[in-house]
């Protein structure tokens, strides 16, 4: 069975600072990996996804993530935080081309002016 | 292209009642998945439907059921509601092509409150 661990339920950064949200996964087969963002009272929006190939994945809004198989990690980064990035972020894993996504517990990102 | 739509957006029920939630997927998407989101348990997979058949199921009691219609629209039903069923219920659709990526697009959710 697959699982996802997000280190840090809350992360606080200053506007313009680096954003780093950590995600480690466990999977018995090569996984598909995703990062989603959720704004208050809204559904989940896909930020980026990893399948196979290039290990550095670029997503929307300036976010990117690097797949490191040896570390079973898929950390999300953004060079310069913006106030509009304040939201909850979820890392997810899937081991098939359909069906269940397994989510981490989420990380709430706060951006200070 | 319109996104995933869910109705109603908010619902208040009392214990023991039943409820039906509706989800319309993105046009052309054949798979619909349902998730429950609560502060304590986070996001948990309920079930997935493809071509009117349940293809995957999570670890929820039989009170939770669903179905999918020929136009890919899906409904989720919860019978004999309990206080713990209060949650945001999210629907997600995907193309579900064979060998493709399990990229799911989420609707805004239905907020269910059980009193």
Asked whether the beta carbons of A11 and A109 are under 8 A apart, the reply is yes
The CA distance from B49 to B31, in Å, is: 6
- Taking alpha carbons only, the member of A71, A81, A85 closest to residue A22 is A71
Question: Across all residues in chain A, what is the average pLDDT?
Answer: 93
Q: Is the pLDDT of residue B25 over 90?
A: yes
The CA distance from A86 to B40, in Å, is: 21
In a 3-state reduction of DSSP, which class is residue B96? coil
How much is the average pLDDT of A101-108? 96
Closest residue in B to A97 (Cα) is B102
Which pLDDT score, from 0 to 100, does residue A31 have? Answer: 84
Half-sphere exposure of B107 (CA within 13 A, CB side): 29
B60 touches chain A (CB under 8 A): no
Task: Determine phi and psi for B72, rounding to 5 degrees.
Answer: 80, -10
Q: What residues of A are in contact with residue B50 (Cβ under 8 Å)?
A: 98
Closest residue in A to B30 (Cα) is A98
* B98/A97 Cβ within 8 A: yes
DSSP B15: T
Which pLDDT score, from 0 to 100, does residue A95 have? Answer: 83
CB-CB: which of A43, A98, A106 is closest to B31? A98
In a 3-state reduction of DSSP, which class is residue A26? strand
Which pLDDT score, from 0 to 100, does residue B99 have? Answer: 64
Q: What residues of A are in contact with residue B97 (Cβ under 8 Å)?
A: 97
User: Mind listing the pLDDT tens digit for each residue in B28-74?
Assistant: 999 999 999 999 999 999 999 999 999 989 999 999 999 999 999 99
Q: Is the pLDDT of residue B102 over 90?
A: no
- Taking alpha carbons only, the member of B71, B34, B27 closest to residue B49 is B34
State how far the alpha carbon of A98 is from the alpha carbons of A91, B4, B48, B106, in Å. Answer: 17, 17, 9, 14
What is the nearest CA distance from B71 to chain A, expressed in angstroms?
A: 19
User: Mind listing the pLDDT tens digit for each residue in A34-48?
Assistant: 999 999 888 999 999
Percent over 90 (pLDDT), chain B: 85
The CA distance from A51 to A4, in Å, is: 16
Asked whether the beta carbons of A9 and A105 are under 8 A apart, the reply is yes
* B102/A32 Cβ within 8 A: yes
Q: Is the pLDDT of residue A99 over 90?
A: no
* B58/A101 Cβ within 8 A: no
User: Mind listing the pLDDT tens digit for each residue in A50-77?
Assistant: 987 788 999 999 999 999 999 999 999 9
DSSP A30: P
Neighbours of A9 (CB within 10 A): 11
In a 3-state reduction of DSSP, which class is residue B111? strand
Mark out the alpha helices in B11-104 (DSSP H runs).
none
**Chain pair A-B, CB pairs under 8 angstroms:** 67
* B48/A98 Cβ within 8 A: yes
Percent over 70 (pLDDT), chain B: 97
Which pLDDT score, from 0 to 100, does residue B33 have? Answer: 96
Which pLDDT score, from 0 to 100, does residue A30 have? Answer: 78
Q: What residues of A are in contact with residue B45 (Cβ under 8 Å)?
A: 100-102
């Amino acid at each position: 069975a697959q699982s996802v661990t997000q280190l840090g339920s809350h992360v606080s950064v200053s506007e313009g600072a680096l954003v780093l949200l950590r995600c480690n996964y466990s999977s018995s087969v090569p996984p598909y990996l995703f990062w989603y963002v959720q704004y208050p009272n809204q559904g989940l929006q896909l930020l980026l996804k990893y399948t196979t190939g290039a290990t550095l994945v670029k997503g929307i809004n300036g976010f990117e993530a690097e797949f490191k198989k040896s570390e079973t990690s898929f950390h999300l980064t953004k060079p310069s935080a913006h106030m509009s990035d304040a939201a909850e972020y979820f890392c997810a894993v899937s081991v098939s081309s359909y069906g269940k996504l397994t989510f981490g517990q989420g990380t709430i990102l706060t951006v200070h002016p | 292209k319109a996104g995933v739509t869910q109705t109603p957006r908010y619902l208040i029920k009392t214990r023991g009642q039943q409820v039906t939630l509706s989800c319309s997927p993105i046009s052309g998407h054949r798979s619909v998945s349902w998730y429950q989101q609560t502060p304590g348990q986070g996001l948990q997979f309920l079930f997935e439907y493809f071509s009117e058949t349940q293809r995957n199921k999570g670890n929820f009691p039989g009170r939770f059921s669903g179905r999918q219609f020929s136009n890919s629209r899906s409904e989720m039903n919860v019978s004999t509601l309990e206080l713990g069923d209060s949650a945001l219920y999210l629907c997600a659709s995907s193309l579900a092509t064979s060998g493709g990526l399990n990229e799911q697009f989420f609707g805004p959710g239905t907020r269910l409150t059980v009193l």
